[in-house]
C-alpha cells in the first residue's frame, strides 16, 4: 500500500493489484499502452504511484509512461466519479440545443467539463459525437443513453441518479 496525493485528496493505493498484470507483460516489447490500459481498468485512472511501480518493474522510463498516458485521451490521470456523463456536442446535438443541456448539467451539478463533483458521484465529459444523431440532444450516463433531452428532463435524470447514489 502507498499513499497518493491526487487532486489534493489522500487516498490509499494498493499497488499489489498490479502484480499479476505486470507478470503477464514481463519482458514483452511494446507494452506501454496495454499496461496503462490494464492499470486504468484496475484503478479507474492512472495513479502516479502506479506509474512509478510499472516503471520499476518493467524498466520503462517513468517519463515515457507519463508521456504516453498524457498524450492519449483514453487515459485519465485523476479519479473519475461513480457515474461518467458523456455529453454529446456533435452537429445534430448542437443544432438541437446541446448547449442548453450542458448548461443544465453544469447548473445541477456545479461542475465544468472534465471535473468531478465533490462527492465523487459524477464526472462530466463533453464529447464530439455519441453516434445517436436521430435522438439529439443526447447524453450517456455510464452505459445508459438519454435522448431528446430538455434542460428540465436533464436535471430530473441527474436527480434520479443522485437518489440512487
User: Which cell is 64 given?
Assistant: 515515457
SS3 call for 121: coil
Query: Would you say 13 and 2 are in contact if contact means Cβ atoms under 8 Å apart?
Result: yes
Domain count, the chain: 2
The pLDDT assigned to 6 comes to: 43
Each residue of 94-108: pLDDT tens digit?
Answer: 999 999 999 999 999
Picking from 50, 71, 92, the residue at the C-terminal end of a domain is 71
Rounded-to-integer distance, Cα 157 and Cα 149, Å: 10
User: For the chain, which residues score pLDDT lower than 50?
Assistant: 1-9
Report field, pTM of the whole predicted structure over 0.75? no
pLDDT value for 73: 79
pLDDT at 11 (0 to 100): 61
The pLDDT assigned to 19 comes to 97
Query: Are both 97 and 134 inside the same structural domain?
Result: yes
Answer with the one of 19, 49, 71 that is the final residue of a domain.
71
Q: What is the pLDDT of residues 8-21, one digit of tens each?
A: 445 689 999 999 99
pLDDT of residue 136: 97
Domain holding 152, by residue range, is 83-164
Give the CATH number, domain containing residue 24.
1.10.10
Amino acid at each position: 500500500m502507498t499513499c497518493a496525493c491526487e487532486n489534493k485528496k489522500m487516498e490509499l493505493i494498493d499497488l499489489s493489484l498490479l502484480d499479476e498484470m505486470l507478470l503477464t507483460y514481463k519482458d514483452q516489447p511494446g507494452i506501454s499502452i496495454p499496461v496503462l490500459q490494464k492499470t486504468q481498468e484496475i484503478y479507474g485512472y492512472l495513479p502516479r504511484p502506479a506509474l512509478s511501480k510499472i516503471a520499476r518493474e518493467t524498466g520503462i522510463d517513468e517519463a515515457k509512461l507519463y508521456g504516453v498516458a498524457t498524450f492519449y485521451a483514453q487515459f485519465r490521470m485523476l479519479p473519475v466519479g461513480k457515474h461518467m456523463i458523456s455529453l454529446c456536442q456533435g452537429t445534430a446535438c448542437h443544432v438541437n440545443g446541446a448547449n442548453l443541456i450542458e448548461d443544465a448539467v453544469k447548473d445541477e451539478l456545479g461542475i465544468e467539463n472534465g471535473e468531478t463533483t465533490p462527492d465523487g458521484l459524477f464526472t462530466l465529459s463533453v464529447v464530439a459525437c455519441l453516434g445517436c444523431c436521430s435522438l439529439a440532444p443526447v447524453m450517456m450516463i455510464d452505459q445508459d443513453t438519454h435522448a431528446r433531452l430538455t434542460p428540465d428532463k436533464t436535471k430530473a435524470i441527474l436527480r434520479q441518479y443522485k437518489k440512487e447514489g
